[in-house]
Chains A and B, each alone.
Chain A
């Protein structure tokens, strides 16, 4: 006996070390059981060793029972069969009604209780290491528990989604991030245009694919993929990547390859979403909708409000009015006699009657190259008091039609169509 042990000592030790590691693996590895709960592999093995015997006993028991009930004890079966058929008809009608109700409930749920997640706080982190293997696509970042990081927080860059926090360590303060290209990752994703939803997964060779899209759907290459928010990790609407190849996959599903928006192979800095806010989606208020004409009008120069005019004051001639306008300091509100309070130049974007071909109309001021300071903008008209439109030209300091004699005629293209 001793000679056998001595002779095969090395092999015995090898077998022992391998056995210990296999047991260690079996303790860690979890398999999805029948009740969708993780079960340790060692328990599966233990059950697997006992189960065949149990199954054999139960099979014998069921067989004996089946023979009795199916071949000998058939009393009242016809009546029961008729009764069950009637019940099935009733349940079919009920099913149609419930289907309608369910669809209605979903629509209402979408309308009333739809919540969106918004990123409210992020922590910037530096990538300091990797998993060191193409079979374990993870990175290490220099932020950990002390920085407020927790497991399953989303990790992104400015370009798009990177992955999620897999493990957080306190000392040293680092975290392990599982990249979306790892085969154990999963991200709820949606195609931007077609609104088809699927699950984004990594493959063994490091590619990223979108799964669970039915093969009868149309998906175009180049389409953008966004997060759907369904995984409760990534907020909805973050860019994930673009579709690079669409092919037929397994089991009625398409095989869609995705190019990640973030460069996963050269990550240096990432952002960890440490806080998300859920906000109720608010329906768009149609009463405050802004028209294109209003936006254009806001870009045009405005007319200052008319100062309060003393009715008892001595009426001034045009020269005085023009002079006061010329001497106005930049930023001060010049007098605007002849212009009704609240009137804005933008409200009449077409060429005013008094406008000249040199562009002495407010419309030209919309162009940035025409803008100048008040000091270099001499007044060109002297009878502004009589002409309301001309007074606008004088009183708006940035407008300097005379400063650029070669400027283009009034730009009618600025008028809203």
Chain B
């Protein structure tokens, strides 16, 4: 099992420079809006802002920083679309909080752990989004386990590669 339990003192906490903190989420949002023009299926299966949220939340290992990171990235993603602003914000706030809380307790630095964590948080994100969109905003939504799991796997695999790429920007505290 790749996930290992560690004490809080053993887990390393990272920080990021300001350009990376701002630039990486912005780049993820831009790619999320631009790539579907060439590859329409991209928006159906991939959520780059979510992957970035999970990465920053886990690396910082601070629940408050994680939830604020998720809230800001989610609200920015909401602004791209035409649905009410806040649906992605709430979903990513929950994911940011959850991922950073998990990061405090578990060592999720290896590829297997990252795949599982991303898969789980993608499903959590979809569930929260579905609940808010259907219950609060009254949008017509259909839950599909097949699509959800497939998309979670795609994001998980993509996340593993993306996290290794983003690891280069980590700075030890």
Contact = CB atoms under 8 A, between A and B. Distances in A.
Interface stretch (A23-31, A83-91, A337-345): A23-31
A10 B85 contact: no
Interface stretch (A127-135, A212-220, A284-292): A127-135
B81 to A, nearest CB: 3
A138 B64 CA distance: 33
Contact of A130 (B34, B67, B136): B34
Contacts of B122: none
A75 B136 CA distance: 51
Given A10-B101, A17-B93, A18-B94, A131 B82 contact: yes
25 contacts: A13-B63, A13-B67, A14-B94, A18-B90, A21-B90, A24-B85, A24-B86, A25-B84, A25-B85, A25-B86, A29-B138, A31-B138, A41-B136, A129-B37, A130-B33, A130-B37, A131-B82, A132-B77, A132-B80, A133-B81, A133-B88, A135-B81, A135-B129, A206-B44, A267-B37
Interface in A151-190: 166-167, 176, 178, 182-184
Interface of B: 29, 32-34, 36-37, 40, 43-44, 63-64, 67-68, 71, 75, 77, 80-90, 93-94, 97, 101, 129, 132-133, 136-142
Given A127-B37, A130-B37, A132-B43, A13 B64 contact: yes
Contact of B140 (A138, A167, A183): A183
Contacts of A203: 140
Contacts of A10: 63-64, 67, 97, 101
A302 B133 CA distance: 72
A266 B93 CA distance: 33
Contact of A204 (B36, B97, B140): B140
A268 to B, nearest CB: 8
A206 to B, nearest CB: 8
Nearest to B137: A29
A24 B86 CA distance: 7
A138 B136 contact: no
Nearest to B36: A130
A182 B40 CA distance: 14
A17 B67 contact: yes
B139 A135 contact: yes
Contact of A28 (B67, B84, B132): B84
A13 B65 CA distance: 11
Contacts of B137: 25, 29
Given A14-B97, A21-B89, A135-B133, A178 B82 contact: yes
B40 A14 contact: no
Contacts of B97: 10, 14
B27 to A, nearest CB: 13
Contacts of B129: 135
Nearest to B38: A266
A205 B139 CA distance: 12
A251 to B, nearest CB: 15
A95 to B, nearest CB: 38
Interface string A253-284: 00000000000011100000000000000000
Contact of B93 (A21, A135, A205): A21
